Amino acid sequence: MAAPIAYSLIATDLDGTLLRGDDTLSDRTLEALARVAVAGAQHLVVTGRPAPRVRPLLDVLGSRGLAVCGQGAQLYDAGADRLLWSVTLDRELAETALGKIEAEVGQVYAAVDQDGVDGLTLIEPGYLMPHPTLPAVRVMHRDDLWCEPISKVLLRHPSLSDDELAATARSVVGSLATVTMSGPGTVELQPCGITKATGLALAAEHLGLGPRDTVAFGDMPNDIPMFDWAARGVAMANAHPELKAIADEITLSNEDDGIAVVLERLFAGRLVDFAP
């Protein structure tokens, strides 16, 4: 009789976790995920990137299933190219939250991810994309950011660290939005109460799975709710100290195939007959 599957759901962040610094996937990581699929487990991307920015990577992975996008605000069906579920951030609340933050720290630079499978990333003057490979449209004025429904706001400060900006934002935003740090260079405002865990839980329910079936991989504080929800949380060697502090395990970095190392161990007994 075959050994039972260690975990039925493999939930992975993208940036700093599954992806290398150049936004590519290593052959070893792809092979490990393919072998896990043969063993009967499912891989679920859980990322802060909005659905349109995730679609090309899902094509590389050969995924036609679900993905949790926008820090949990979107549940995307890759096979149907549609959102099964999405929550938008009220644009008036977002403007109010920005005003409160700037009253404390001075000018910040903002960007937004629009809702929808074809939503754009809009950036105001002064905002620098933390991932230069991701497409963005520069607008002339901040008011132009609010022209369509949005899933989140991205913030950068010219001198404060991500930790400092996030801490101040949390202290003044209150219930207007949820503040996350998915950096480096990325502090975000998303709908109140929405986290990666809410999106992961919804996706798992669709798949007939739950927390005890799930191992999660991440690198930043925005992955903390996901680790709290899953049975096991694995932080990358390059992870933020806050995530490492609550992780069940710390693996190698994203550049050193940290996810593949863990999956090869967890599914070792199920992989011997796989021929790539």
pLDDT value of position 207: 96
pLDDT value of position 6: 78
Query: By CB neighbour count within 10 A (0-12 exposed, 13-18 middle, 19+ buried), where does 2 fall?
Result: exposed
39-94 pLDDT, tens per residue? 999 999 999 999 999 999 999 898 899 999 999 999 999 999 999 999 999 999 99
How many angstroms separate the CA atoms of 121 and 134, rounded?
Answer: 9
**Which domains does the chain show, CATH number per domain?**
9-86+194-267 (3.40.50.1000), 91-190 (3.30.1240.10)
* Global pTM exceeds 0.85: yes
- Residues 103-109, mean pLDDT to the nearest whole number: 96
Q: Which residues of 87-125 are buried (b: 16+ CB within 10 A; e: fewer)?
A: bbbebebbbebbebbeeebeebbbbbbbbbbebbbbbbe
pLDDT value of position 5: 61
pLDDT value of position 191: 96
The CA-to-CA distance between both ends of the chain, in Å, stands at 23
Q: Sorting pLDDT into bands at 50, 70 and 90, what band is 270? A: low
Tokens of 149: 């429904």
Number of Cβ within a 10 Å radius of residue 226: 27
